[in-house]
Chains A and B, each alone.
Chain A
Amino acid sequence: MNSWKTAVAWVGKGMAYAVMGLFSLMTIYPVIWLIYNSFKTNAEFMVDKISLPKEWILSNYVGAWTLGTFDMLIGNSVIFTLVSAVGIIFISVLAGFGFAKMPNKATAPIYGSFVMGILLSITSLMVPLFIQVSQLDRMISDGFHALGMFTGHDVHVFYNTSFGVILIYVGSGLPMAVYLCTEYIKSIPTSLVEAARIDGATYFSIFWRIILPMSTPIATTIVVLNVPGLWNEFALINIMVSDETLKTLPLGILRFNGQRSVDYGKQFAALVIGMAPMLVFYFLFRKQITAGVSGGAVKG
């Protein structure tokens, strides 16, 4: 009886190790494989994809870094990722406060529409989004020209501006963030808000002094859920920006990577350059990130 139970426990344990071991191997090996192959010459990689480089060369990195103008792209990536993440948090905590603590008939339909939006994938709306943005810009441009301002130039507010990119990044992160914030803020005792109101505090100061600080756990969650996606995003920014000085890291990687491209060495170097910052960030802040993911426990 007991030995039978022990056997089951051992099999279960074994399977657990097997699954985790396999998944871990699948994670670690390809990453290491990619890294060491980025030090091979293209010719060597073509012949042998598995063993370590015979001669470790750096020219792939030198080539990729200069040709890809990665120094500029990394700066842009950092700015877009940070500003967008802050924007998402600020706007969604604000809205979450409204939805959670201020009774209003409009909450049901509007909040409902946000919840619906969680599943919308913005990639499938790229064409209409681009048409909308460029038509808006054209109208604004025509408006300025009619007033005699900026004549001879197209005026861009949304297309090909950092403002436009951040607007769209923030917008695309909102449905999930608003949902998480609203549910989280619901769990903050209403009595806190009421007490502050009786003391004569305005809603904005309540937001600033009570709600925002108390939302730190859910804000961390939002950061953790959004930052990798923002950092790695390439489809939207490719469409929304044409100026080389506004582009980001993933677009730099894609310049080395097409179906007709042949130089694997530089391609892999570019991929490692793109991957490294996130990996370093992750291993430095692993504890905080782990805590952040768990913040999704809003009703736990």
Chain B
Amino acid sequence: MKRLALVLALVAFAAMSLVAADKTVLKFLYYADSSQAGYADDMATWAKFKAANTDIDLQMEILFDRPYAQKLTAYAAAGTVPDVVYMWPTTNEASSLLQSKKMMKDLKTVLPADFLANFTSASLDPSAQTSKQLSELPQSFTFTTVMYANVGLLKSLGLSVPKTYAELKALVPKLRVKNVQTVLLPNADKWPAQSCLFSTISGRLLGDAFIDNVLAGKAKFTDKAFVDALAFYGQLYTDGIINISNVQMGYGDGPGLFAANKAAFIIDGDWRVGAYLTDKSNGKALIDPAKQASDFELLNFVAIPGEKNVNTASAIAGTGLGINKDLSGAKLDAAKRLLMYYYGKEVQTVKLETGAFIPTRTDVTSSKLEPLSQKQIKYYSTVPKTTYVLDGALDPTVFGPLNDGLQGIPLGAQTPAEVAALMQKAQDALPKK
């Protein structure tokens, strides 16, 4: 009996402890990396929001990487998705269920039209999201293939910046005698080779139409053209442009090696600019601003033999915040205020200045950008047309074997034809729409 009373007391206690004052509770799942240079500024913007909105009890959960993925999946599995969620536009990340099951509101029906008018048209395109609605408002438009170049290093060795594949290949022995790798592409985590390089190769050699045809059953991955694209990717390794050790190098190792003159180029997404900028917490930068200006460039990948779509690069709508579709009344109003604050000019300027991303909000500019961020904006103008990022266009069961294969081909464990066959098999196994 005593024990029962104890349990009841505990239950009541637990329940009581959660009863706050009469505020609108807003549960918010956010995504942030504490080791990023802009983290402290990011937290400061949220503290400001809380101070300015005392009627909202903002219950913020900040996670990163794997813990974020686990938690969000658990939420989605149990149907307890928070009110506002940081999420991805397609199914390639942990927020996939929110998109594929349409668990979020269409933001076009929530945010005022004159507010949305501040954003680029590409970011408002519903067809860029798996749910075919504006489930999240992409805060950035992400270019996934950027060839960061250490032009200063090339110059000091008497070499010039390559424009074509042949010129790039000719650099290999000249760089190698000085113990410099030509192109870094750390790929132990599997997605970088696909997202940051192969998507662009496929886009240049085959184009989006080919992928659309495969999805519609009118073409196959086993077609010669696609197998050839995979073979070309393998050639980058046999030609020595990418050193085989990259296959098992952790994604985190790239920027340091690149900044330390260990490679002439690194292929990475545009989001990685932030890694090289000054960390306000200790005033140190991986590449200091003067060097960023004089020695480094962001380039479009070199022209490859037989490319149909000249100079295209892969790009995809970026991450952003979405609102749970069950929200209404005061909660919805609070969520709306949060989004309008986050996507407002002030916060987006902080994001721009800390190198987090280049906002899709068009009226955000800053005179305080470090040189590499300025070069990032300039880089966008060198890409005439964008192409699919494959993990955003294909089903996870299909790009899974592709990601594996992009490790297997350089290691000699798989042939391009085998990888293509596995992809087609997975594609055929999908339920027909």
Contact = CB atoms under 8 A, between A and B. Distances in A.
A touches B (Cβ under 8 A): yes
Interface of A: 41-43, 45-47, 57, 59, 62-64, 67-68, 126-127, 130-131, 134-135, 140, 144, 150, 153-157, 160-161, 163-164, 234-235, 238-239, 242-244, 251, 254-264, 266-267, 270
B80 A259 contact: no
A263 B256 CA distance: 10
19 contacts: A43-B256, A46-B256, A46-B286, A47-B260, A59-B282, A67-B43, A68-B34, A134-B79, A154-B18, A164-B14, A239-B70, A242-B27, A242-B82, A257-B35, A257-B65, A259-B65, A259-B252, A260-B251, A263-B37
Given A262-B255, A263-B36, A266-B35, 11 more contacts: A46-B259, A67-B281, A127-B77, A130-B78, A156-B18, A238-B71, A239-B71, A242-B61, A255-B34, A261-B33, A267-B35
B429 interface: no
Contacts of A134: 78-80
Given A153-B25, A234-B67, A251-B67, A63 B14 contact: no
A127 B255 contact: no
Contacts of B260: 43, 46-47
B47 interface: no
A258 B66 contact: yes
Contact of A67 (B39, B67, B251): B39
B74 A130 contact: yes
Q: Is the interface of A mostly helix, strand, loop or mixed?
A: helix
B77 A63 contact: no
A43 to B, nearest CB: 6
Contact of B35 (A154, A155, A243, A263): A263
A21 B20 CA distance: 58
B61 A153 contact: no
B60 interface: yes
Interface of B: 10-11, 13-15, 17-20, 25, 27, 29, 32-37, 39-40, 43, 59-67, 70-71, 73-74, 77-80, 82, 189, 250-253, 255-257, 259-260, 275, 279, 281-282, 284, 286
Nearest to B39: A67
A47 to B, nearest CB: 4
Nearest to B24: A152
Given A67-B39, A150-B15, A258 B77 contact: no
A156 B15 contact: yes
A293 to B, nearest CB: 31
A258 B65 contact: yes
A161 B282 CA distance: 37
B56 to A, nearest CB: 14
A180 B63 CA distance: 37
Contacts of B189: 259
B3 to A, nearest CB: 11
B61 A126 contact: no
A59 B10 contact: no
A62 B36 CA distance: 15
Contacts of B18: 153-156, 160-161
A45 B256 contact: yes
B57 to A, nearest CB: 10
Contacts of A161: 14, 17-18
Contacts of A155: 15, 18
A211 B13 CA distance: 32
Given A46-B253, A46-B257, A239-B74, A254 B10 contact: no
Nearest to B262: A47
A76 to B, nearest CB: 15
B257 A261 contact: no
A75 to B, nearest CB: 17
A221 B142 CA distance: 54
Nearest to A266: B35
A262 B275 contact: yes
A107 B19 CA distance: 42
B202 to A, nearest CB: 23
Contacts of B19: 150, 153
Nearest to B279: A263
B51 to A, nearest CB: 17
Contacts of B250: 259
Nearest to A150: B19
Nearest to B250: A259
Contact of A157 (B14, B60, B73): B14
A264 B256 CA distance: 10
Contacts of B73: 127
Contacts of A259: 65, 189, 250-252
Given A244-B60, A255-B34, A264 B252 contact: yes
A263 B39 CA distance: 12
A136 to B, nearest CB: 11
Question: A-B pairs with the 5 shortest C-beta distances?
Answer: A46-B256, A258-B65, A263-B35, A255-B34, A59-B282
A243 B59 contact: yes
B67 A254 contact: yes
A42 B256 contact: yes
Contacts of A244: 60-62
A47 B40 CA distance: 26
A268 to B, nearest CB: 10
A235 B34 contact: no
B130 to A, nearest CB: 21
Contacts of A63: 281-282
B252 A262 contact: yes
Contacts of B284: 41-43
Nearest to A162: B14
A157 B70 contact: no
A140 B12 CA distance: 11
A281 B316 CA distance: 49
A157 B10 CA distance: 9
A204 to B, nearest CB: 11
A255 to B, nearest CB: 4
B15 A144 contact: yes
B33 A255 contact: yes
B35 A157 contact: no
Given A46-B259, A263-B35, A264-B252, A258 B74 contact: no
Contacts of A68: 34
Nearest to A242: B61
Nearest to A69: B34
Given A127-B74, A243-B59, A260 B17 contact: no
Contacts of B14: 156-157, 161, 163-164
A169 B62 CA distance: 23
Contact of B65 (A234, A239, A260, A262): A260
Contacts of A135: 78
Contact of B74 (A41, A126, A160, A254): A126
A259 to B, nearest CB: 5
